[in-house]
Amino acid sequence: MKKNISKSQEITRAFVMSVVVLAVILCVGCVQSENSEEKNLRIVLHSGPDTGGSLDPAYKWEGWYTRQTGIYETLFYYDTEMRLQPELATGYKQLNDTEWEIQLRKGVTFHDGTKMDADAVIYSINRVLDPSNSRSVEYSFLDSVYKTGEYTVVIKTKEPYAPAISAFADPVMSIVSSNAENLDTKPVGTGPFKFVSFESGASMDLEKNPDYWGGEPKIDTVSVLFNSDGAARSLMIMSKDVDISRDFQRSDYATLAANPDVQIVSQAGLRTFFLYVNGNKAPFNDTRVRQALSYVLNRQEIVDTALEGIGGVPATGIFSGSLPWNANDQLATCDNDQKKALELFSEAGITKGSDGKMYYNGEPFSIELLIYTKRSANLPTAEVIVSQLENFGIKSTIRVVDSSTIPSECSTGNYDLSLTDWVTAPSGDPDYFLSLHYLSTGSYAAWTGYSNTKVDELILKARTTFDADERYKLYDQVQVLTQNDMPLIPIFYGTDVFALSSNVTGFEIYPNELTVLTSKIDLK
């Protein structure tokens, strides 16, 4: 039976169908939009885990990389202003001269779903204290760690030790899951990003930790690339192959700064570029020779030429102005004084000949500068230093080796000068660097042959002094004495420089370089 349909009914039906079709289109669009909203952050760093591919934070310095990539966290950390803050801890109190109680954060879970508690903290700390761990010597001040509750631990030191709490901000003390199957190959931490995969020397893939105690990260996945070529890191941000490039080639700064799709962010940090001087052999075992070498160098020229004027500032002492413990205002500036250098060399038996060359024991005085080039600043810095030494009359050459070779070369004395760079206070306390380099028993003091009983006395006293003002005075004296002895020659304080895509937001630079990827980073 044929039904009569009015014109108004046809219009109504057409309208309803249009609405249905539009709704379907919008729903499809919603699905597509939702899928396309997954945010993948791409970042290139100059280096990554390089000790046999291990990702274990308690092994050598691998904790730096797994901390920077947002996998692991520590009990305490230093913020962007270098203020000590609780992280997996919520606070601490000193019980007596040798015991510290640390309260732990509740409600934190590892990436494998297990809870972070006192047992996990004790397990993590004891992994570092194991005598088989090469870095256990740095924590020889610890006697024991025990729990007094599910979320409370007590740290006991062998003797009064003022830097005790700050030592737990070092990534070697990252808190790991005791249920992890193999921390060498699959890290399990509490950070904002979870480990997915790793290709040694090339890349690491991460995904967000949706249960992160600090709030769900804004980025869904992260692709981390490792590339030791500064020019390549520049090209990658220019070609939009990455969203963040760290330590790009300094000669590309002007080009990148003029690019509207790139934003440059930088901040003075705690990294000092300096020279190890082999004081285990003549003539470098003479303080006057080490001082003279420092006076030959024109640090401003090094910064302007090698770093394009944006990668650092001329150094005075070993600590940069970003570290509150620096005593630079009390130190002699041993810089760019050719007359003074000539006087000191002459006193040490190194004289200038009629040909303008420097002579030692009747032979041309020559220096070999040992370097590695993993950092983009190293080779151009070495080239300027050698040029300045040559202009003064010292025959100079550069020997480039892999960074992994530096320890064996320096510890066996197979060098004259060696250019290197250190974050001098990653845990915020000066004892770390001073003890390693200036204490007679320090691991790196052996490289330079440095020993000064007064410096030893001051460092050891500072360790057991809890009054901050008194500690400042003691460390000031250490810096004055070591500046005069000059077993290390400071060159410049590095500026941490990143190139970001214009749509990257929430990125911050931390002076101690331990934190890079955080839950705040976003792509707009």
- 48-72 per-position pLDDT tens digit: 987 567 999 999 999 999 999 999 9
- Written as six digits, the tokens of 241 are 């192959």
Q: What is the pLDDT of residue 36?
A: 56
The yes-or-no verdict on residue 176 having pLDDT over 70 is yes
Residues 6+ apart with CB under 8 A from 397: 366, 367, 368, 369, 386
Largest CA distance in the chain: 124
Tell me the per-residue pLDDT of 311-351, one tens digit each, with 9 for 90 and over. Answer: 899 999 999 999 999 999 999 999 999 999 999 999 999 99
The yes-or-no verdict on residue 15 having pLDDT over 50 is no
Q: How much is the mean pLDDT over the chain?
A: 93
Q: What is the pLDDT of residue 23?
A: 44
Question: CA nearest 133: which of 176, 92, 172?
Answer: 172
Q: Find out whether the peptide bond into 283 is cis, omega within 30 degrees of 0.
A: yes
Tell me the per-residue pLDDT of 408-420, one tens digit each, with 9 for 90 and over. Answer: 999 999 999 999 9
Report the phi/psi class of residue 215: left, alpha or beta, with left for phi > 0 and alpha for psi in -120 to 50. Answer: left
Cα–Cα distance, 368 to 371 (Å, whole number): 10
- Look at the alpha carbons of 94, 99, 103, 108 in this order and tell me if their dihedral is positive or negative: positive
Q: Mean pLDDT, to the nearest integer, of 171-194?
A: 97
Q: Mean pLDDT, to the nearest integer, of 90-113?
A: 98
Under the banding of pLDDT at 50, 70 and 90, the label for residue 35 is: very low
Which of 43-52, 205-214, 306-315 is predicted least confidently? Answer: 43-52
Residues in a beta bridge with 364 = 359
Cα–Cα distance, 314 to 320 (Å, whole number): 10
The yes-or-no verdict on residue 388 having pLDDT over 70 is yes
Q: Mean pLDDT, to the nearest integer, of 102-121?
A: 98
CA torsion angle 466 467 469 472 (round to 10) = -10
The yes-or-no verdict on residue 30 having pLDDT over 70 is no
Angle at the Cα of 421 (from 389 to 61), degrees rounded to 5? 150
Under the banding of pLDDT at 50, 70 and 90, the label for residue 14 is: very low
Residues 6+ apart with CB under 8 A from 145: 121, 122, 125, 126, 153, 154, 155, 156
Cα–Cα distance, 268 to 207 (Å, whole number): 30
Q: Can you list the pairs that 279-282 forms with residues at least 24 positions away whose Cβ atoms lie under 8 Å?
A: 279/448, 279/449, 279/450, 279/487, 280/413, 280/448, 280/449, 281/413
All structural domains of the chain with their residue ranges: 40-261+502-523, 268-496
Helix (H) or strand (E) holding 270: strand 262-277
Q: How large is the angle between the packed helices 287-296 and 378-392, nearest 10 degrees? A: 100
Q: What is the pLDDT of residue 51?
A: 59
The yes-or-no verdict on residue 170 having pLDDT over 50 is yes
Whether the Cβ atoms of residue 441 and residue 474 lie closer than 8 Å to each other: no
- pLDDT-above-90 percentage for the chain: 88
Under the banding of pLDDT at 50, 70 and 90, the label for residue 125 is: very high
CA torsion angle 156 157 162 167 (round to 10) = -80
Cα–Cα distance, 284 to 340 (Å, whole number): 17
- pLDDT-above-70 percentage for the chain: 93
The yes-or-no verdict on residue 8 having pLDDT over 90 is no
Residues in a beta bridge with 368 = 397
Q: What is the DSSP letter of 522?
A: E
In the numeric block, the tokens 């620096």 are attached to: 326
Helix boundaries (H) for 166-215? none
Question: CA nearest 432: which of 183, 104, 61, 52?
Answer: 61
Whether the Cβ atoms of residue 399 and residue 370 lie closer than 8 Å to each other: yes
Assigned CATH topology for domain 268-496: Dipeptide-binding Protein; domain 3 (3.10.105)
Residues 6+ apart with CB under 8 A from 504: 41, 243, 244, 263, 521, 522, 523, 524
Whether the Cβ atoms of residue 64 and residue 77 lie closer than 8 Å to each other: no
Whether the Cβ atoms of residue 237 and residue 230 lie closer than 8 Å to each other: no
CA distances from 202 to 44, 49, 342 (A): 10, 10, 48
Assigned CATH topology for domain 40-261+502-523: D-Maltodextrin-Binding Protein; domain 2 (3.40.190)
Helix (H) or strand (E) holding 85: strand 84-86
Phi and psi, residue 489, nearest 5°: -110, 105
- Written as six digits, the tokens of 73 are 């966290």
Q: What is the pLDDT of residue 50?
A: 72
| Count of Cβ atoms closer than 10 Å to residue 260 Cβ | 6
Of residues 476 and 311, the one with the higher pLDDT is 476
The yes-or-no verdict on residue 74 having pLDDT over 50 is yes
Angle at the Cα of 222 (from 219 to 227), degrees rounded to 5? 145
